[in-house]
């Protein structure tokens, strides 16, 4: 899981995020990467079509708090679309521009199927069609009235479809580019353990439509916090990803303190906490923008 905070991060986010993390105890899965081109197990995970259908149904049933848009882009004949759901409990006495903005993105790597399951469960819980165990709903609702959420349930839909077709180890997009390495910071730089198959950065920064869409969304929404959800290890990452250091200043101290609280209260201190580039064992050449 990656976290990108602004210097104005509110401590109330900890409560919201702890509630969000409770969903991990509900949404579970197994490692399906034993072999390539294996039938997709529908007993463990829903298809992308099913997830999209369920989310659209939530939006239809709860227009007072959910709305949806599909963002599209193309490059040299390759097309991509990204579903974006906005959660906002509009109130006449609260100005939306004063609310805390959080961007949550899931499914950047096609094979990380469980992350999109979590996105579906989160939206179902925000719609109050599913419950979140061990959470004070009155406190949570009070916080949610002060927050605008944008949720990207399947950032890499084309890559996910390749997984659903049987290529269970596929992490890249529909034309073989690792979206995690298609951002601009240190683009194309190769570490000693560089794998050209797994880590193809594309022909240029932002060459991929999916990355172009996420850049456009982040610029227009201007989130205070951007959380990107991955699967495969227990970790709470903060900048930087592209080098083994963390930023200086008060914002970094607040960010790490918040992650340590989440780790202690939810993860029982099992999670790694620190820079993505230092904690995960390799650096990632991407840039996620926030305030």
Q: Name residue 122's beta-bridge partners.
A: none
- Phi then psi for residue 74, to 5 deg, are -150, 155
pLDDT, residue 203, reads 94
Segment holding 252, helix H or strand E: helix 250-265
The continuous run of DSSP H or E covering 159 comes out as: helix 157-164
The predicted pLDDT at position 32 comes to 38
From the list 51, 273, 13, the residue with the least C-alpha distance to 143 is: 13
- Enter the pTM of the model: 0.81
Question: Residue 97 has which token pair?
Answer: 């521009």
**With the CA atoms of 137, 141, 142 and 144 taken in that order, what torsion angle do they form, in degrees rounded to the nearest 10?**
140
β-bridge partners, 4: 226
pLDDT digits 0-9 by tens, 199-258: 899 999 999 999 999 999 999 999 998 999 999 888 888 887 777 777 888 888 888 898
Query: Binning pLDDT at 50, 70 and 90, where does residue 189 land?
Result: confident
Mean pLDDT of the 272-276 span: 83
Check residue 85 and give its pLDDT: 98
Domains in the chain (CATH in brackets) are 48-232 (3.40.630.10), 234-290 (no CATH)
Sheet holding 100-106, edge to edge: 66-75, 78-87, 147-152, 100-106, 225-229, 2-5, 235-238, 272-275
pLDDT of amino acid 276? 74
pLDDT tens readout for residues 234-246: 888 888 777 777 7
Kindly report, residue by residue over 29-71, the tens digit of the pLDDT: 444 344 445 677 778 899 999 999 999 999 999 999 999 999 9
């Amino acid at each position: 899981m990656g976290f990108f905070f602004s210097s104005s991060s509110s401590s109330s986010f900890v409560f919201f995020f702890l509630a969000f993390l409770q969903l991990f105890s509900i949404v579970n899965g197994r490692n399906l990467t034993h072999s390539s081109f294996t039938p997709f197990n529908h007993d463990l995970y829903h298809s992308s079509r099913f997830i999209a259908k369920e989310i659209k149904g939530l939006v239809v049933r709860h227009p007072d708090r959910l709305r949806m848009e599909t963002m599209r882009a193309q490059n040299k004949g390759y097309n991509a679309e990204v579903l974006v759901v906005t959660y906002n409990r509009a109130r006449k006495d609260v100005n939306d521009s004063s609310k805390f903005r959080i961007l949550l993105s899931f499914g950047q790597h096609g094979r990380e199927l469980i992350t999109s399951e979590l996105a579906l469960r989160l939206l179902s819980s925000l719609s109050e069609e599913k419950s979140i165990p061990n959470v004070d709903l009155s406190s949570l609702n009070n916080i949610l009235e002060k927050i605008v959420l944008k949720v990207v349930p399947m950032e890499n839909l084309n890559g996910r479809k390749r997984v659903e077709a049987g290529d269970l180890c596929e992490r890249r997009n529909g034309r073989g580019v690792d979206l995690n390495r298609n951002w601009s910071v240190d683009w194309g730089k190769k570490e000693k353990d560089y794998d050209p198959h797994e880590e193809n950065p594309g022909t240029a920064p932002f060459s991929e439509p999916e990355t172009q869409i996420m850049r456009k969304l982040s610029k227009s929404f201007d989130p205070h916090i951007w959380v990107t959800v991955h699967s495969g290890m227990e970790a709470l990452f903060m900048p930087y990803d592209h080098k083994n250091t963390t930023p200086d200043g008060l914002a970094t101290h607040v960010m790490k303190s918040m992650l340590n609280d989440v780790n202690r209260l939810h993860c029982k201190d099992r999670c790694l906490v620190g820079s993505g580039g230092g904690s995960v064992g390799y650096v990632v050449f991407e840039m996620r923008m926030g305030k």
